[in-house]
Amino acid sequence: MLNDSTIWNDFRGGKGYALPYIYSRQVEHLYRYGRKFTKDEELIKDTIQEMFYHLIRSRDTLGETDNIRFYLMSAFKHRIVRSIHSEKHFEDSSEEHNSFELSIVYSYEEELIGKETESKKVKAIRKVLRTISPKQREILYYRYSCDYSYDEICKLMSIQYDSARKMVFRALKSLREHMDRTDLILLFLFKKKR
pLDDT tens sequence across 116-173: 445 666 676 677 778 888 888 888 888 888 888 999 999 989 999 999 999 999 988 8
Q: What pLDDT does 188 receive?
A: 56
Select 107-193's CATH number: 2.40.30.10, 1.20.1250.20, 2.40.50.100, 1.10.10.10. 1.10.10.10
Q: What pLDDT does 128 receive?
A: 75
Q: What pLDDT does 88 receive?
A: 63
Q: What pLDDT does 94 receive?
A: 41
Low-confidence ranges of the chain (pLDDT < 50): 89-90, 92-100, 108, 112, 116-117, 191-194
Q: What pLDDT does 163 receive?
A: 93
Q: What pLDDT does 117 receive?
A: 45
Give the chain as a DSSP string. Answer: ---HHHHHHHHHTT-TTHHHHHHHHHHHHHHHHHHTT-S-HHHHHHHHHHHHHHHHHTGGGPPP-S-HHHHHHHHHHHHHHHHHHHHHHHH--SGGGS--------HHHHHHHHHT---HHHHHHHHHHTTS-HHHHHHHIIIIIS---HHHHHHHHT--HHHHHHHHHHHHHHHHHHS-HHHHHHHHHHHHH-
Domain ranges of the chain: 4-97, 107-193
Q: What pLDDT does 96 receive?
A: 39
What burial letters (b/e) apply to 135-156, b meaning 16+ CB within 10 Å?
A: ebbbbbbbbbbeebebebbbeb
Fold of 4-97: Rna Polymerase Sigma Factor; Chain: A (1.10.1740)
Q: What pLDDT does 137 receive?
A: 87
Q: What pLDDT does 145 receive?
A: 80
